[in-house]
Amino acid sequence: MAALVSTVVVVCVLASGTQPAAANEGRPATYLEIDIANQVLSVVTDGQVEWSTHVSTGSEEWYWNGWDWERAHTPRGWFEIYWFDEGWVEAPLGWLYNAMYFTGGFAIHGSESVPYYPASHGCVRVSLEDAEWLFARIGYGTPVLVHD
């Protein structure tokens, strides 16, 4: 698969015309990598970044979740895609499009608001177009690495 870059990408790392590097030693053959520091999601296959896009992750701000105060934090570590919700779904904190859940209630999902900085409650927001692209290609059990 040729390296593809979403047209909505303006993150400095991607705007330079180069794909982010993936450190693949000891890693699964194919996985999703979410780079919090650069706000980039990449599909990595055999150590090569095959596709990347801009994301918006947890803002680290405090918010009221309806019953308690919580920090808008995107969890770090290795996870797996364990559930899909196709199309628009209303969740307790807002609307999600083509959600792919990777731990607890945290998902990679399409949103109409994907600013170029961390702004979510903890989910990984992508554009609606990118959510469609990912949803058509990512399967159950796909590993997800989230790191700073």
For the segment 65-88, the average pLDDT, to the nearest whole number, is: 97
| pLDDT of 109 higher than 90 | yes
pLDDT computed for residue 10 by the predictor: 35
Strand partners, 5: 52
Nearest to 57 by CA among 111, 133, 21: 111
Confidence band of 114 (pLDDT split at 50, 70, 90):
very high
Distances (CA, A) of 31 to 41, 44, 51, 64, 92: 10, 5, 11, 33, 28
Q: What is the pTM of this model?
A: 0.84
For the segment 97-126, the average pLDDT, to the nearest whole number, is: 98
**Which domains are present in the chain?**
4-147 (2.40.440.10)
| pLDDT of 62 higher than 70 | yes
